[in-house]
Amino acid sequence: MCGLAGLARIDGSDLRPDADGLLSRMADIISHRGPDDRELLRKGPVGLAFTRLSLVGPDDGAQPLVSADGDLALIANGEVYNHQELASAFPAGTVRTSSDCEVLLPLYRKHGADFLDTVRGMFAVVIHDRRANQLVFARDRFGVKPLYYHRNAERIVFGSEIKALFSDGATPRRVDWKAALTHPMMTAAPHLRETEPVTWFEDIHLVPAGTVVRINLADGATTTHRYWSLPAEGPEATGSDEEIVERYGELFAQSVAECATADTEIGLFLSGGIDSASVAALAARHTDSLHTFTVLSGATYRNGDAENGAFVADFLGLPNHQVLFDADRVPGVEEWKRLLWLSETPECGPEQFYKHELHRYAKAARPELRGMLLGAASDEFNGGYSPDLAGGGGWPDFEAHLRGMSRRGALLDVPALGAWWEQIPHPVLRDDAVHHHLGTTAKDPYAQYLLREWRKIQQYNCWHEDRSAAGSGVEARVPFLDHRLVELCASVPADRRGRLLWDKRILRSAVTGLLPRRIVEREKVPFFYGPGDVHTFRTFSRMLAQDGGALLEEALSTDEARRHLDADGLRTMVAHLSEAPSIDVQLVLRLVNLGLLARMAEDLPPPLVTTSAGPVPQALAVSDWDAERVGVEERIGVAPSLAPDLVVGLAPEVLLLSSPGENDTWFLAVDGTLEYVVDEEPWLSFLRAVDGRRPLGEILADCGVELGDVREDLVGAMEHGLLRESAA
């Protein structure tokens, strides 16, 4: 993981010496990406800036890399995993350093725009081809490594992060409100309409994934060559189910081995789910010191990630760090703005915060650590979301849901037809009717779904994994984004998808024997949604409300923000969320982020390396989860200390009600809606005795029950805000 930046004249002239100042400023801005080295190179019409993080060839892999004849100069961010295999095809001495990226120079010289066809890895590449007078941009197949640019008639500026481009006074610094507010990733729109990744800023472009872009430096003429596309509707895989699973297992093991190879220390984020656990089991074969890092928060405690992460690490004999996020850990105003500026995306939210802090802890605990293995991007192509989208059904229900998403996407172009599906409970028109009026042919919804997931990982997953790691000078590595793995999953025949891709069966079958059955068959749980998600929602609702809603008020401080955002409505939402945290905090935060990005783009913050990210998180050592459970719950704030003098009462919006009849049925009503049935003793007796005045010990004594008899229900009620601590 390194930082790239630069500029080039595209009008036939050379750069002037004063361009060195801009190159230096750009290098300053991205210096967090590469703390080990910094180089600037200006020659003719092109200037290059490079900041290096050394994972492979730390002694002689400095960049820019220049060919022996001086005709080619290259800077690259990322890793070429099969560099030794590729280099072996050239005469000895062609590759002169131990850099994994130098092999790209002879590959480009030999194959031109096709030079990446046989390359495996994650990379963003810039080549100055002096003989052809061209500037060449390229990115890996999934866009794991970023590369952005802005151009006008005279020049082009480019960099690994958008903020580097803003160092150039001629580059616009405006949020693209229209693109942001209508993008399905921002609105969570449930359709399969094709939407290309965006940069969130006006006239800032990204080099597309799987693409080589060549720019003529004499006149700016540009050609684009896509060397890889997701083969969503390509040839089908052959062989039996068992043979496909075996092939998947072989490719996965190879990918993990390549990602786990480095000349410096590598770590791993371990959630205890099948994805990261599988990476851990295979990576442990290739490194002597693999430390694992797990989020310990209210959400990950409740959904089982924290405990299962520790279980997997213990099973594999790996050190595990349970990184603590207790109930009081709320990002401060300046802390959040710094993270948002690092991320450069309005989608910055809880996931980005937790992973950024994990990297900070890992770097502090293991100073020599340079790379981090992730289990990310398995769900997208292995069928991980199929049970959720099936709504409790099976694969046919998942496919039916995809057909509905495909139809909703098509109806965006003929919305008047939508009434036939919205007003009648059973289908009366075929989906083909929509495509007939569009003049198109219905596509395979599953193929559309895979394409959406490919674009989603570019817009969201790869984007934030890169930034959250880069903030600590760490490179994130993603074994599941080996194109051979993805191609294999995409080629599973339609009539066998249910057997191989339902709930990641292809992965679970491939790693059976590597991990305990408890982990192989463990149900997928989201990172912070599901059980315990109220803890996350509460944290970020408190963040928005702190200091009189300071983040929101700053977000509303630009003319464009006030033109697009309803200030009073947002203030009302923030106030409501502080009282009743919910998933709505996600959408509110995205709008606040847009406003903050607009403000920061106008008044550029200083380089990240010159500002503090706040105190480094701490880890909580847990040696016996069963024996220490109560203490862990109290430490992370899942449960308060249930002392005898604790006084609790029903929240103002909660009522305990009973229905008249021979056998009374009791309910908890929230805001006038019956939400919970209360039909078990002694919990019902306890609730009937709660009055907001008497202490816990007195109530338990009057009911004749022990704390242990109602503890789980009491903790759950307080966790979800049904019961609140009150003054006696």
Q: Within a domain: residue 48?
A: yes
Give the mean model confidence (pLDDT) for residues 493-502: 96
8 Å CB contact between 296 and 313: no
Q: What is the β-pairing status of strands 265-269 and 291-296?
A: parallel
- Confidence category of residue 57, pLDDT binned at 50, 70, 90: low
- The residue with tokens 């003319």 is 559
Report DSSP letters for 596-612, one per residue. Answer: HHHHHHHSPPPPGGGS-
Among 359, 317, 349, CA closest to 1: 359
8 Å CB contact between 393 and 299: no
Mean pLDDT of the chain: 93
Q: Are 103 and 28 in the same domain?
A: yes
Name the percent of the chain lying above pLDDT 90: 77
Name the residue type at position 465.
E
d(CA 186, CA 181): 7
Catalytic residue among 2, 101, 462, 703: 2
Q: Are 598 and 707 in the same domain?
A: no
d(CA 575, CA 592): 14
CATH (domain of 681) = 3.90.930
Give the mean model confidence (pLDDT) for residues 38-67: 87
DSSP type of residue 201:
B
- Confidence category of residue 506, pLDDT binned at 50, 70, 90: very high
Supply 667's token pair.
């309910």
Q: Are 70 and 206 in the same domain?
A: yes
Q: What pLDDT sits at residue 441?
A: 79
Which three-class secondary structure state does DSSP give residue 35?
A: strand
Number of domains in the chain: 3
Burial of 609 (0-12, 13-18, 19+ CB in 10 A): middle
Supply 5's token pair.
């930046």
Chain segment 202-261, per-residue pLDDT in tens: 999 999 999 999 999 999 999 999 999 998 777 899 999 999 999 999 999 999 999 998
For 453, list phi and psi in degrees, rounded to 5: -65, -35
Q: Within a domain: residue 584?
A: yes
Q: How many CA atoms lie within 13 A of 96 on its CB side?
A: 8
Supply 480's token pair.
């599941």
List 371's β-bridge partners, or say none: 266, 475
Which residue range(s) make up the domain with 36? 3-226
Q: Are 551 and 700 in the same domain?
A: no
Supply 443's token pair.
């596509």
8 Å CB contact between 74 and 62: no
Q: Are 576 and 673 in the same domain?
A: no
Q: What pLDDT sits at residue 728?
A: 56
702 alpha carbon, distance to own chain's centre: 51
Which range has the worst mean pLDDT, 95-104, 169-178, 206-215?
95-104
Which three-class secondary structure state does DSSP give residue 526?
A: coil
Supply 85's token pair.
């295999």
DSSP type of residue 467:
H
Q: Are 48 and 120 in the same domain?
A: yes
d(CA 589, CA 526): 19
- Confidence category of residue 478, pLDDT binned at 50, 70, 90: very high
d(CA 141, CA 687): 57
Among 56, 98, 107, CA closest to 77: 56
Q: Within a domain: residue 366?
A: no
Name the residue type at position 280.
A
d(CA 76, CA 63): 8
Supply 615's token pair.
């105190």
Q: How many CA atoms lie within 13 A of 379 on its CB side?
A: 19
Among 655, 635, 192, 89, CA closest to 411: 192
Q: What pLDDT sits at residue 97?
A: 86
Which range has the worst mean pLDDT, 13-17, 145-149, 292-296, 299-303?
299-303
595 alpha carbon, distance to own chain's centre: 21
Q: What pLDDT sits at residue 1?
A: 63
Please write down the long-range contacts of 563-568, taking CB distance under 8 Å and 24 or more positions apart. Answer: 564/177, 564/181, 564/594, 565/591, 565/594, 565/595
CB neighbours of 454 closer than 8 A, spacing ≥ 6?
Answer: 142, 209, 230, 380
List 15's β-bridge partners, or say none: none
Ranges assigned E (strand) in 250-393: 265-269, 291-296, 320-324, 369-373
Q: Is the pLDDT of residue 712 over 80?
A: yes
CB neighbours of 347 closer than 8 A, spacing ≥ 6?
Answer: 185, 186, 459, 460, 463, 464, 590, 593
Chain segment 641-682, per-residue pLDDT in tens: 788 999 988 988 899 998 876 677 899 998 888 888 998 899
8 Å CB contact between 580 and 537: no
Residue 101 a catalytic site member: no
Q: Are 136 and 33 in the same domain?
A: yes
Its pTM stands at: 0.92
Q: Within a domain: residue 601?
A: yes
d(CA 268, CA 384): 20
Q: Is the pLDDT of residue 420 over 70?
A: yes
Q: Are 196 and 119 in the same domain?
A: yes
8 Å CB contact between 642 and 707: yes
Q: Within a domain: residue 236?
A: no
d(CA 145, CA 462): 7
Report DSSP letters for 428-463, one per residue. Answer: -S-THHHHHHHT-----HHHHHHHHHHHHIIIIIHH
Give the mean model confidence (pLDDT) for residues 474-481: 97
8 Å CB contact between 158 and 7: yes
Q: Within a domain: residue 449?
A: no
Q: Are 553 and 644 in the same domain?
A: no
Name the residue type at position 328.
D
Domain end, chosen from 203, 226, 249, is at 226
| Cβ count within 10 A of residue 539 | 26
Burial of 215 (0-12, 13-18, 19+ CB in 10 A): buried
Could you tell me the sign of the dihedral formed by the alpha carbons of 351, 357, 358, 363, in that order? positive
Q: What is the CA radius of gyration of the chain?
A: 27
CATH (domain of 102) = 3.60.20.10
List 65's β-bridge partners, or say none: 74
DSSP type of residue 288:
S
Chain segment 7-26, per-residue pLDDT in tens: 999 999 999 999 999 999 99
- Confidence category of residue 720, pLDDT binned at 50, 70, 90: confident
Q: Are 601 and 645 in the same domain?
A: no
Q: Within a domain: residue 391?
A: no
Chain segment 297-334, per-residue pLDDT in tens: 999 999 999 999 999 999 999 999 999 999 889 999 99
Report DSSP letters for 574-585, one per residue. Answer: HHHHHHS--THH
Which three-class secondary structure state does DSSP give residue 654?
A: strand
Domain end, chosen from 226, 241, 256, is at 226
List 133's β-bridge partners, or say none: none
Select the more confidently predicted residue: 145 or 36.
145
Give the mean model confidence (pLDDT) for residues 157-182: 97
Residue 513 vs residues 281, 508, 509, 540, 575: alpha-carbon distances, Å = 10, 10, 9, 40, 51
Q: Are 17 and 142 in the same domain?
A: yes
8 Å CB contact between 270 and 294: yes
Q: Are 190 and 49 in the same domain?
A: yes
Report DSSP letters for 333-365, one per residue. Answer: HHHHHHHHHHH-STT--HHHHHHHHHHHHHHHH
Q: Within a domain: residue 141?
A: yes
CB neighbours of 429 closer than 8 A, spacing ≥ 6?
Answer: 417, 420, 421
Residue 656 vs residues 309, 650, 687, 728: alpha-carbon distances, Å = 39, 8, 8, 20
Domain end, chosen from 580, 605, 630, is at 605
- The residue with tokens 């704030």 is 637
Q: Is the pLDDT of residue 347 over 70?
A: yes
Among 242, 280, 235, 232, CA closest to 516: 280
- Confidence category of residue 409, pLDDT binned at 50, 70, 90: very high
